Chain A
Amino acid sequence: MNPWLFVVAAYAVACLGTLGLTLASLVAMRRAERAAESLKRR
């Protein structure tokens, strides 16, 4: 068993999970704030 396979797999899970969570939260926040702002202007 190559130990680096396990290291890479663990880091992939952590980095993809963190990146996915960050991007999803950022997009949701921007979308919600834009929608609130556009309704305020109406």
Chain B
Amino acid sequence: MHAFANPTRFLSLARPLTGWLGWAGAVLALVGIIAGLTLTPRDYLQGETVRIMYIHVPAAWLGMAGWGGIAAASVAELVWRHPLAAIAARATAVPGAVFAAICLASGSIWGRPTWGTWWEWDGRLTSMLVLFFLYIAYIALADASADRGGGARVAAIFGLVGAINLPIIHFSVLWWRTLHQGQSIGFTGSTIAPSILWPLPLTTIGFTLLFTAIILMRMRMLLANAKLEARQRRMGGAA
């Protein structure tokens, strides 16, 4: 991991990867979406609305994985003071917040015809909403820390503490009696019929690759801005 501590070395890898991951992700997600909308049968219970699963599940996964990434980067920042860790965490925050919001919005739209309500304060929905608010707080904190020239450790501690919410989201459907369905996809199998399930890995992998490309774009932006500010400071000092 420390091999990429040098921003120049990181950028030499990130520049070609951004395009490849972005295009591969977009194509896979598009194929999965088209397949999910046209090639799979309707569910016997939920009917056509089951198709919302192909975007709702990847959004939920990325909303949670985003904070997982922030927590991992926070450990790298606090323990090893990795020079790219704070930048990686900041770059992940906005995409994570957007996908958490997409998860909440698509879930709400799915809930109306399935449960008869747009929103219910149950364990899964509430803990996901808490995750979205954690993202907003993290973005404000990290931006404020960056504006004051440092203080990345405060944001890193917040990133680590906020990770407590991830197991709460995951196990919420087991811990509390919720309106949200229980876990239907695991490492060993799924309770969803294969004829309905098969486009889901396509959209999940596609959106994940796209998410990674977006993080790389935002890391490159933050690195370029840091370079620009440093150069402006040097020029200001020389004048």
In the assembled complex, the CB of B48 is this many whole angstroms from the nearest CB of chain A, namely: 4
In the assembled complex, the CB of B100 is this many whole angstroms from the nearest CB of chain A, namely: 11
- Which residue of B101, B113, B235 contacts A1 across the interface (Cβ within 8 Å)? B113
The complex places the Cα of A28 from the Cα of B218 at a distance, in Å, of 8
The complex places the Cα of A6 from the Cα of B33 at a distance, in Å, of 15
Q: Mark A9-42, 1 if CB is under 8 A from B, else 0.
A: 1110111011001100110110111011001100
The complex places the Cα of A10 from the Cα of B59 at a distance, in Å, of 11
Interface size, chain B (Cβ < 8 Å): 40
Interface size, chain A (Cβ < 8 Å): 26
Question: Nearest chain-A residue to B229 (Cβ)?
Answer: A36
Q: Does B124 contact A (CB under 8 A)?
A: no
- Chain B residues numbered 95-119 whose CB sits less than 8 Å from any CB in chain A: 95, 98-99, 101-102, 105-106, 109-110, 112-113
Q: Mark B56-67, 1 if CB is under 8 A from A, else 0.
A: 100100000000
In the assembled complex, the CB of B226 is this many whole angstroms from the nearest CB of chain A, namely: 9
Query: What B residues does A40 contact at CB under 8 A?
Result: 227, 231
Q: Does B220 contact A (CB under 8 A)?
A: yes
In the assembled complex, the CB of B204 is this many whole angstroms from the nearest CB of chain A, namely: 13
Closest 6 A/B residue pairs (Cβ): A32-B224, A14-B55, A3-B48, A25-B217, A36-B224, A29-B221
Can you name 20 extra interface pairs (CB under 8 A) apart from A6-B110, A32-B224?
A3-B47, A3-B48, A6-B113, A7-B48, A7-B51, A10-B55, A10-B110, A14-B55, A17-B105, A21-B98, A25-B94, A25-B214, A28-B217, A28-B221, A32-B220, A33-B221, A35-B228, A39-B228, A39-B235, A40-B231
